[in-house]
Structure 1
Amino acid sequence: MTSAELLTDAFDRIREEVHAAAAGLPADLLAFRADPDANSIAWLLWHLTRVQDDHVADVAGTPQRWTSDGWAERFALPLDPSDTGFGHDRDDVAAVRVDSADLLTGYHDSVHAMAVGYVGGITDADLPAVVDNAWDPPVTLGVRLVSVISDCLQHTGQAAFVRGLAERA
C-alpha cells in the first residue's frame, strides 16, 4: 500500500462516518445538545469538514470549497466565512444550524473529493516537506494530514455518540 492509498483510505473512512452520523436526521436532532455547553451533531460535522477543507486546501494550494463552491452561502451561518469553529463558545455552537443532513453531507462530499484528489498524488518523498513553520518543531505535510485525519475521526465519533443520545432523548 502506498502513502497515497493509505491517506485516501483514511479520508474515505471519515466520509463514511460523516454519512453514518448524519443519515436521515431531521433538523431538531442535528441541533440536539446534551447540555447548553455541548456540541451538536451539526456543529461537529460542520467543524470537522471546515477544518479538513481549510487544512487540506492550504497544503494543496487550492481554494477552500466553503467559499469557492458557495457552501458558505448555502449554509447561511451568522459566522465569518473564514471561521472553522476553533474557539467557539456555546452561542457560536448554537448558531450552527442546518435544515437538512444533506447539506452537511453535501459539503463534506465536496471537501472529500478535493482531499482525495490531492492525497491521491502524494508520494513518500512529499511527506517530510515543512508546511507550517509556526510550530516548534515545524509541521510537515505528513504530520498535518495525520492531524486532520485524527481530528476528523474524533469528531465523527463524537457525532455518533451525540446521535445516540439524541435518538434516546
Structure 2
Amino acid sequence: MRTPELLADAFGRVQEAVHEAVEGLLDEELAYRPDGDANSIAWLVWHLTRIQDDHITDAFGLDAQLWTTEGWADRFDLPFAPAATGFGFTSKQVAAVRAPGDLLLGYYDAVHARTLEQVSGLTNAELERIVDTSWNPPVTLGVRLISVIADDLQHAGQAAYVRGLAERRG
C-alpha cells in the first residue's frame, strides 16, 4: 500500500464514522447534550470538520478554508467569527452549534473530498516537510495528518456515543 492509499483509507474510516454518527437523526437529537456541559453530536462533527478544514488548508498552503470560500459559514449562520473552530469553546458556545444532519455532512464531505485531493499524490519524502514550527520538535506533514486523523476519530467516536445516549433516552 502506498502513502496516498493509506491516508485515503484512514480518512475514509473517519468519513464512515461521521456518517454513522449523524445519518437519520433529527435536529433535536443532533443537538442533544447528555448534561449541561457535554458536547452535542452537532458540535462534535462541526468541530472535527472545522479542525480538518483548518489544518489541511494550512498544511498544504491552500489559499483559504472551504468554511469561507464555499459559503459554509453563511449556511451554518453561527454566532462566531468565521475563524472559530470550536477550540476552547464555553458550554454556551457549544450549545449554540445547531445544524441539521445534511448540512453537517455536506460540509464534512466537502472537506473530506478536498483532503483526499491533497493527499492523493503524496510521497513518503513529502511527509517529512515541516508544516508548523511553533512546536518542539517542529511538526511534519506526516505528523499533522496523523494528528488530524486521530483527533477526528476521537470526536467521531464521541459523537457515536452521544448518539447512543440520545437514542436510548427516546
Q: TM-score, normalised by structure 2?
A: 0.97
What is the identity percentage for the equivalent residue pairs of Structure 1 and Structure 2? 60
Partner of 2:157: 157
Distance (Å, rounded) in 2 between the aligned partners of 1:8 and 1:57: 17
What amino acid maps onto 1:162 in structure 2? V
Mapping of residues 100-139 of structure 1, within 5 Å: 100-139=100-139
Distance (Å, rounded) in 2 between the aligned partners of 1:16 and 1:121: 22
Mapping of residues 13-162 of structure 1, within 5 Å: 13-62=13-62, 63-98=64-99, 100-162=100-162
Please, which runs of 5 or more residues in structure 1 have no aligned partner? none
Number of aligned positions between the proteins: 168
Distance (Å, rounded) in 2 between the aligned partners of 1:135 and 1:61: 18
Please, which runs of 5 or more residues in structure 2 have no aligned partner? none
- How well do the aligned residues superpose, as a CA RMSD in angstroms? 0.6
Distance (Å, rounded) in 1 between the aligned partners of 2:137 and 2:20: 36
How far is 1:121 from its partner?
A: 1.2
Q: Secondary structure at the match of 1:131?
A: strand
How far is 1:61 from its partner?
A: 1.7
Post-superposition Cα deviations, 1:140-168, rounded to whole Å, max 9, x if no partner, equal 00000000000000000000000000011
Distance (Å, rounded) in 2 between the aligned partners of 1:113 and 1:45: 16
Distance (Å, rounded) in 2 between the aligned partners of 1:61 and 1:68: 15
Q: TM-score, normalised by structure 1?
A: 0.98
Q: Secondary structure at the match of 2:128?
A: coil
Q: Secondary structure at the match of 2:159?
A: helix
Deviates more, 1:74-83 or 1:56-65: 56-65
Distance (Å, rounded) in 2 between the aligned partners of 1:146 and 1:21: 21
How far is 1:139 from its partner?
A: 0.4
Distance (Å, rounded) in 2 between the aligned partners of 1:115 and 1:126: 15
Distance (Å, rounded) in 2 between the aligned partners of 1:121 and 1:77: 35
How far is 1:119 from its partner?
A: 0.6
The structure 1 segments of at least 4 consecutive aligned residues displaced by more than 3 Å after TM superposition are none
Distance (Å, rounded) in 1 between the aligned partners of 2:8 and 2:80: 31
Q: Secondary structure at the match of 1:127?
A: helix
Distance (Å, rounded) in 2 between the aligned partners of 1:144 and 1:81: 22
Distance (Å, rounded) in 2 between the aligned partners of 1:14 and 1:57: 18
Partner of 1:3: 3
